[in-house]
Amino acid sequence: MLKKSKLLAGAMLAAFSLAIPAHAADVKEVQMLHWWTSGGEAAALATLKDYLAKEGYTWKDVPIAGGGGSAAMTTLKAMVAAGNPPTASQILGYYALDYAKAGKLNNLNELATKEHWADVIPKALQKFAVTDGNWDAVPVNIHSVNWLWINKAVMDKIGATEPKNFDEFIAMLDKAKKAGVIPLALGGQPWQEATMFDSVVMSTGGPDFYKKAFVDLDPAALKSDTMKKAFDNLAKLRDYVDPNYAGRDWNLATAMVIKGDALVQVMGDWAKGEFSVAKKTAGTDFMCYRFPGTDGSVIYNADMFAMFQVPADRRGAQLALADATMSPAVQSAFNVIKGSVPARMDVPDTAFDLCGKKGIADVKKADAAGTFVGSMAQNYAQPPAVATAYTDVVTKFFHGQIKTSDAAVTELVKAIDAAK
């Protein structure tokens, strides 16, 4: 009798499980939208995929090529509008706040509290990952844009040393020109020119000026002589690019430096990821210096994963992604390859090369000194509309459509006013 009822219970259980629709079980897949399509970027992302694979999650990649992410943001907008958001998307600064305020993101507070995220992530970043007290995005790194990436053999050949200010930088570029090497490897795309201009403005005016102009949008600063001087300095850099610079992808510009076809690239530290996958060593094959005149300041952008509202059966995978991203192991492994600094301040610098160690120390120092400031070009100083207006003016000036620095500052004030 007992045997019979056990059998019956078993049969009922089997029938019951069969009756559960497939979607009631957790979908063990992470769908992620990102623009990490270069060699270094893909290698860094692989560390996160591998970590999740070990936890039983598959990865559905949604790569949208285009440095700086504007193409990716267009695709994301369409997916969200269609009610089909990814589990998570790579995102920068004010874009995350926009989705959070529109009620499109999921709340991660339980995990954040359990893992004490608030104690280890810099406050400056929490401003973009937390909205109305709710964690809804997870920072994987801290990049900074005010760097020079230099081919060491070329630098030695032309007899140059680290430039400490803008004039010394120009002198170094002149030496390369005389030696018949392309001085400045530039990808002439709007976002790259604007990213470089962030550094030029910091170098020309210093951190207080940068903050007044780009964080406070103080009209007096935006149209000041200092800003004019920054445009003059940007114009000087035009003399050192090769004729084919327009439209070039950032990683192809990095490759020019890696190969020794060019001396230097001004780029965020994602460039270091390309040196790493090319098996080049910091200090021997290449040098990383702060953009001349910006030592002590860090113009940051941080890659975050915005966690979208997904169906309940995908929530587990989303939390697994958030947990993996914040794990000290991933934060170290990912950023060693990516060229960035861990978003968690408690991750040791042991596994990092000399550029990585410098990056980590610089972030801590700048954060303490009040010189850790958001990149205007990378959507960490202003919302996308203002950042786009800025990028437009910078690129028009660089390509000669706006002819003088006087006109550039007038256009800048006008464009920013219209975008605010």
Residues that bind ligand GAL (CB under 6 A): 35-36, 41, 67-69, 92, 143, 250, 270, 301, 303, 378
Q: How far is the CB of 35 from ligand GAL (least distance, A)?
A: 5
Dmax of the chain from CA atoms? Answer: 98
Neighbour-count burial of 115, counting CB atoms closer than 10 A to its CB (0-12 exposed, 13-18 middle, 19+ buried): middle
Closest Cα to residue 23, out of 252, 410, 312, 258? 312
Judge whether 257 and 287 are in contact, CB under 8 Å: no
- Which residues share a beta bridge with 282? 286
User: Residue 69 or 359: which CB sits closer to ligand GAL?
Assistant: 69
CA torsion sign for 57, 102, 391, 402 is: positive
User: Residue 31 or 195: which CB sits closer to ligand GAL?
Assistant: 195
- Which residues share a beta bridge with 406? none
Q: How far is the CB of 404 from ligand GAL (least distance, A)?
A: 30
User: Residue 88 or 227: which CB sits closer to ligand GAL?
Assistant: 88
Q: How far is the CB of 245 from ligand GAL (least distance, A)?
A: 17
User: Residue 71 or 78: which CB sits closer to ligand GAL?
Assistant: 71
User: Residue 13 or 71: which CB sits closer to ligand GAL?
Assistant: 71
Pairing of strands 147-151, 262-266: antiparallel
Kind and range of the H or E run holding 374: strand 372-374
Q: How far is the CB of 396 from ligand GAL (least distance, A)?
A: 21
Gap between the Cα atoms of 275 and 337, Å rounded = 10
User: Residue 290 or 338: which CB sits closer to ligand GAL?
Assistant: 338
Q: How far is the CB of 71 from ligand GAL (least distance, A)?
A: 11
Q: Is residue 89 classed as helix, strand or coil in its secondary structure?
A: strand
Pairing of strands 182-184, 262-266: parallel
Q: How far is the CB of 269 from ligand GAL (least distance, A)?
A: 9
User: Residue 63 or 260: which CB sits closer to ligand GAL?
Assistant: 63
Closest Cα to residue 366, out of 282, 295, 272? 295
151-153-158 Cα angle (round to 5): 95
Gap between the Cα atoms of 60 and 58, Å rounded = 7
* Radius of gyration from C-alpha coordinates of the chain: 24
Q: How far is the CB of 215 from ligand GAL (least distance, A)?
A: 19
Q: How far is the CB of 254 from ligand GAL (least distance, A)?
A: 10
The amino acid that residue 170 corresponds to is: I
Residue 266's region, left for phi above 0, alpha for psi from -120 to 50, else beta, is beta
User: Residue 36 or 240: which CB sits closer to ligand GAL?
Assistant: 36
Chain position whose Cβ is nearest to ligand GAL: 67
Phi, psi of 275 (to 5 degrees): -60, -40
User: Residue 227 or 337: which CB sits closer to ligand GAL?
Assistant: 337
Beta-carbon contacts of 213 under 8 Å, excluding residues fewer than 6 positions away, are 201, 205, 221, 222, 224, 227
Q: How far is the CB of 249 from ligand GAL (least distance, A)?
A: 9
300-131-76 Cα angle (round to 5): 70
Q: How far is the CB of 265 from ligand GAL (least distance, A)?
A: 12
User: Residue 31 or 375: which CB sits closer to ligand GAL?
Assistant: 375
